[in-house]
Amino acid sequence: MARTQTEQADEQTSPPESRGGSASGSVFYGIMKGLETQSFVPGQRLVEVDLAAQYGVSRNSVREALQRLAAEGVIELSRNKGAAIRSLTLKQTHEVLDVAERMTGLLARSAAQGIADGQSPEPITQALRELVLADQTNDGEAFARARRSLYRAFLVASDSQEMRRLFPSIQMPIVYAQHRPATLQKVRMRDYQTMSDAILAGNAAAADKAGMAHVQNVRAAIVRQHEARTA
C-alpha cells in the first residue's frame, strides 16, 4: 500500500536511525520520546547495559544511538562520566529559542503558502482535532503525539526538503523536558490553534507572525518560571 505524504514526512523528520525499525533507532527514538514523557530527564546518566536491556538490543546498537544523540546535541558524552542527557543553562535555552523562533515562523509561512498553492489541509485539521482532544482529556502522552503529528503536517504542507531537514534539529525537546511551566500546555494549545488557523487560511504573513509569537510565548513562560524560582 502506498504511503501517505504525512507518513513519508514522518519518516523524513524522524531520526535516521529510527527509520526502518533498526536496533539503534529504537534506542534513539525511545530516548527522544522519553524526554517528552519525562521517563528521561535532563542531567540523567544513560548506562549502556541498562539501555540494552530496556530496548532489547546489543550494546553496540546502544553506542550507535548514543553517538547520534550526541551529534544531535541531545546528550553529552564524557570519557570519565559516560553519557548523560544534556542540561541547558538559561543562556543556552535562550539560544535554542532564538533559532526556534525564526524557524517556526518560517515553517508556518511555508506551510501557509503550500495550502494557498493547493496542498491538502486534511493532515493539519486531523492533527489539530487530535491535539484538541488530548488537551481536553489532559492526556500528556497523546498531546505529545498529536503535537508531533501537527508539525509533520505543517512540514507536508510546506513541501520544503530543506525545512524537513533542518526543523527537527532544533533542540526544543530538551527545552520542553527541562522547563515545564504549569501554563505551558495551555500556551501551546492556544498558539497551535492560532498558527493552524493562519496556515489553513493560506495567510503566509499571519502564519509567520503566529509561529514566531508561539516561541515568544514559550520563552515568556520559561522566564516567568525562572524568575519565580530565583526570587
Higher local confidence (pLDDT), 38 or 217: 217
Largest Cα–Cα separation, the chain: 58
Q: What is the mean pLDDT of residues 185-189?
A: 87
Q: What angle do helix axes 90-116 and 140-158 make, rounded to 10 degrees?
A: 50
Report residue 73: phi and psi, to 5°: 80, 15
Banded pLDDT at 127 (limits 50, 70, 90): very high
Question: pLDDT at residue 25 above 70?
Answer: yes
Q: Is the model's pTM score more than 0.75?
A: yes
Banded pLDDT at 69 (limits 50, 70, 90): very high
The H or E element that residue 78 is part of is strand 75-78
Banded pLDDT at 20 (limits 50, 70, 90): very low
Across the chain, mean pLDDT equals: 87
Q: How far apart are CA 141 and CA 227, in angstroms?
A: 28
